[in-house]
Structure 1
Amino acid sequence: MKSKQVIIIVFAWLFGYQMVANAQRVPLTLEESVSYALENNAEARNARLEIEAARGLVGERTAEGLPQINANLSANNNLVVPISPFPAVIFDPEAEEGEFIGVQFSPEFTAGLSATVSQMIFNGSYFIGLKAAKTYRQLAEVDRKFTELEVIENVKKAYYSVLVSEEREELVRANLSRIDTLLKETKILYEEGFAEKIDVSRIQVQHNNILTELDKAKTATLVSLRLLKFQMGMPQDQDIILVDSITGLESLLDADRLLMEDGQPRVEIDQINTNYDLATLDLKNNQIQYMPRLDANYTFQRNAFGNNFSNLWSGKWFTGSVVGVTLQIPIFDGFTKRYKIQQNRVQLRQLEVQKESVLQNIALEKFQSRQNLINSLKALEVQRENRDLALEVFDMAKIKYQEGVGSNLEVVEADSALKEAETNYFSALYDAFIAKVDLEKALGILK
């Protein structure tokens, strides 16, 4: 009775542990991985924050055209009151000519309260700056799209890399299982006198090599998983499991339509066009600096005086106010604006040259990406056929060996050839997926 209870408890614990482990593992498809990365990748998050900063810049530029109000409150203690010289005859007609006496005009304590309101009436730079701020916000949006495309590209390639690494690990395990079975059978044949010691040793060497290869395959899978989580912005301690398989995604390689696609405008061109608009606005801003600036202002103030600090606040306050306009006319600045305009025009020409270069580079990328995808698909078909042939050769070699008409050397060589063919097939499949991603990026349709 106690044994049954122990078994039930152990079974329940194992079942509960497995449920918790599965709950902690996050299953992810390729699309889910991309969606997660667009929300959590550090570069994508910074790109969204840059948009918020650009919105703040627009608000800052807008605020410059609104009334500016400032208030000041001051209290001063003149420790040493300044003395001003005055002719003595003003106070004493009998004083000698050229004699002066010192007079203190300032009280020991002063206080002042003032409020100033200023309003820009005309400033050409303000309107250009406001438009430049809005254009900068557009540039931040374009940069966000560019960053997201890079995130999508990196996540897809990392996802495919994990799938291929897992398949390679499974291939090594399957190869190890085949060699392990062959080793056991050969040992039995050796013990019964139907095989030689060299046959056992040969297979044992193959077995040991595969064990080492399996350790490398496990490491490659772990590294690929960590790289994927890094590209997604996922914590490294989060356990994930990929739902898709490399063979299950092979249907995505139906590239006939993709190879005929003309593509869409690339985001890089939008970046250059927006930078060109910003440079044009900077040129206009420097040109409009030759125009005057007109501001209106109003100041209201109250002042108090006294010989001690307590009487200062309870005494009489004197009121004053000033209203006026200020016209600032630029006359000569040592040709500073002239040289800034010269730099702006050079920058515009540089952006035009850059745009031509990028357009040529995009055309080259499209051509190269198409050719790479075509070659990758051809290589995939060849490696698929080689894998099928290698599997057929291995099965025949194993049957011949089991029937005593073949050697185990043929089986070992056939197994090595099968392992190489399978590895080459999945490598070709990975190359085809990467070529597809590169072509979609070159065409501007990556998503």
Structure 2
Amino acid sequence: MRGNQLLLSLLLITGFQSVFGQADTAKGASYAFNLEDCIKYGLQHHHDVVNAHLDVNFSEEQVKEATGKLLPHGNISASFNDNMKLATSLIPDIANGNYDVKIPVQFGTRFASSVTGQLDQVIFNSDYFLGLKASKVYTDLAKKSLTQTNIETTVAISKAYYAVLTNTENIRLTKSNLQQLSKTLEDTRHRYDQGVAERIDVDRIQVSYNNTVTTVTNQIRTLVYALQLLKFQMGMPQEAQLTLTETVQDFDVEYYLSDTVDYKPEDRIEYSIQNTQIALNELQLKSTKMKYLPQLSAFVNYGWNYFSTDFGDLYKTGFGASVLGLTLNWPIFTGTERLHLIRQNKITVEKSRNDLDYLVQTISNQVKEANTIYLNNKDNFTTAKKNMDLTQGIYDRVVYKYDQGVSTSLDVLSAENELTQARVDYITAMLNILISKTDLDKAMGKIK
């Protein structure tokens, strides 16, 4: 029984290393990353970031499409007609001088064909020119949306990264307690065998030891999931091996500073996106107003016409024809539809400007809220760390007194429970301060 317990303790003590060693036999790459490396990898591989880059490429193609509308457009048209029965017309009988008499005649040939090439060029069209400008604004919006996606991805990766580190620290602390419990359990058994301890003392410590073993096992499962979640947020294949090169000790959370005095709403990407939306709405308004202007385009064409009563002789002789001209289209009056559409666009512009003002207020409230939560979590972390150090000292003294036969097993278990709760509070406070600092940096626009 004792050998099995010692073996189980050894397996659990070394279990954390196996979490990161599971992928040794898996097919996939191996990575040793810190937080910066994880973020860099995620900004290259995450699904949303990849799609955001594609959106930028798509918008750039839209700009080229709008530019192409201003270039000359050429087309070739051809036709072939088999007039199986020519149309009949009535004309005066001029040949016989009987002008009052109408005689039926047929004009044309049975077979007719034509080929025409035409080149069109827009000279002035407000929709085309404004569309080109709007396409460039859309490209700018897509780039800003990419920046926003990068920020969201960075935040998600950071929080998942901190979850792995705090879970790792939690396992380390719990295993340290497990080692002490294992030693206390063995000493109590030895004293029981010598008749200086009671069976109830052995059983009490055994229960606490079993619970701690289960706790470590659950914590390892939680860590495995936390690591899987981090890979997911990074866009990394689950079969890849990821080892983190940092611990929570590398983040001096006690000395994090928060200064919300000099923050500017303009630093938030949402502010810039809203300004771009206003620009798009203003362009839409301008486009509606300019629909009153005429549209002018030029064209030139050249073609050949072929006629014959016999199909075999159709393409022996062609008659050329060419036209050079201008086309003007000026919508003088379209009822009151356009007037009301202009008013609708003005309302949309006004709403978007009002949304910008509201966004500024929202950002201000978000910064205040994030700063309040961060400061509270910072105080909680400081208190939790002090409490954990104090309870650790209490636990060590109680165990020492127990070894000397001065205190009871109930005192040891009570001190162990207090230490366990203090460590839970410490880990929770540590994760909360790391996450709230990330949320505060995001609210202030410090994450780019």
Does the 8 Å CA contact 2:70/2:121 hold for their aligned counterparts? Answer: yes
- TM-superposed deviation, 1:96: 11
1-structure distance, mates of 2:423, 2:273: 44
- TM-superposed deviation, 1:203: 1.9
2:66 aligned partner: 61
Q: How does 1:8-407 map to 2 (within 5 A)?
A: 24-78=29-83, 80-87=84-91, 89=93, 93=96, 100-101=103-104, 103=106, 105-107=108-110, 109-249=111-251, 251=252, 254-256=255-257, 258=259, 261-263=262-264, 265-313=267-315, 315-407=316-408
2-structure distance, mates of 1:18, 1:60: 51
2-structure distance, mates of 1:131, 1:362: 30
1-structure distance, mates of 2:188, 2:82: 108
Deviations 1:226-272 (A, max 9, x none): 111111111111110111111211x2653336455535621111111
Q: Give the aligned length.
A: 426
SS of match in other structure, 2:240: coil
Q: Which amino acid aligns with 2:93?
A: V
> Matched residues, percent identical?
30
Does the 8 Å CA contact 1:253/1:433 hold for their aligned counterparts? Answer: no
**Residues 173 and 308 of structure 1: is their aligned pair in 2 closer, same or farther, counting only changes over 3 Å?**
farther
2-structure distance, mates of 1:367, 1:216: 37
1:4 aligned partner: none
2-structure distance, mates of 1:182, 1:99: 129
- The CA RMSD over aligned residues, in Å, is 2.4
Worse-superposed segment, 380-389 or 60-69: 60-69
1:7 aligned partner: none
2-structure distance, mates of 1:48, 1:161: 28
**Residues 19 and 323 of structure 1: is their aligned pair in 2 closer, same or farther, counting only changes over 3 Å?**
closer
Q: Which amino acid aligns with 1:284?
A: K
Does the 8 Å CA contact 1:253/1:432 hold for their aligned counterparts? Answer: no
Deviations 1:316-363 (A, max 9, x none): 011001111111010232333222212211111111221111111111
**Residues 59 and 407 of structure 1: is their aligned pair in 2 closer, same or farther, counting only changes over 3 Å?**
same
1:10 aligned partner: none
Determine if the alignment matches structure 1 residue 412 to structure 2 residue 413. yes
Does the 8 Å CA contact 1:302/1:317 hold for their aligned counterparts? Answer: yes
Q: Which amino acid aligns with 1:89?
A: D
2:7 aligned partner: none
Does the 8 Å CA contact 2:109/2:308 hold for their aligned counterparts? Answer: no
Does the 8 Å CA contact 2:178/2:213 hold for their aligned counterparts? Answer: yes
Does the 8 Å CA contact 2:298/2:327 hold for their aligned counterparts? Answer: yes
Worse-superposed segment, 39-48 or 328-337: 328-337
- TM-superposed deviation, 1:216: 2.0
Does the 8 Å CA contact 1:301/1:319 hold for their aligned counterparts? Answer: yes
Q: Which amino acid aligns with 1:396?
A: R
1-structure distance, mates of 2:419, 2:122: 81
1-structure distance, mates of 2:333, 2:140: 35
- TM-superposed deviation, 1:180: 2.4
* Structure 1: tracts of 5 or more residues without a match: 1-16
**Residues 318 and 397 of structure 1: is their aligned pair in 2 closer, same or farther, counting only changes over 3 Å?**
same
Does the 8 Å CA contact 1:67/1:118 hold for their aligned counterparts? Answer: yes
* Structure 2: tracts of 5 or more residues without a match: 1-20
Does the 8 Å CA contact 2:49/2:150 hold for their aligned counterparts? Answer: yes
Q: Which amino acid aligns with 2:104?
A: I
2:11 aligned partner: none
Q: Which amino acid aligns with 2:193?
A: E
Deviations 1:413-435 (A, max 9, x none): 21221122122112111111111
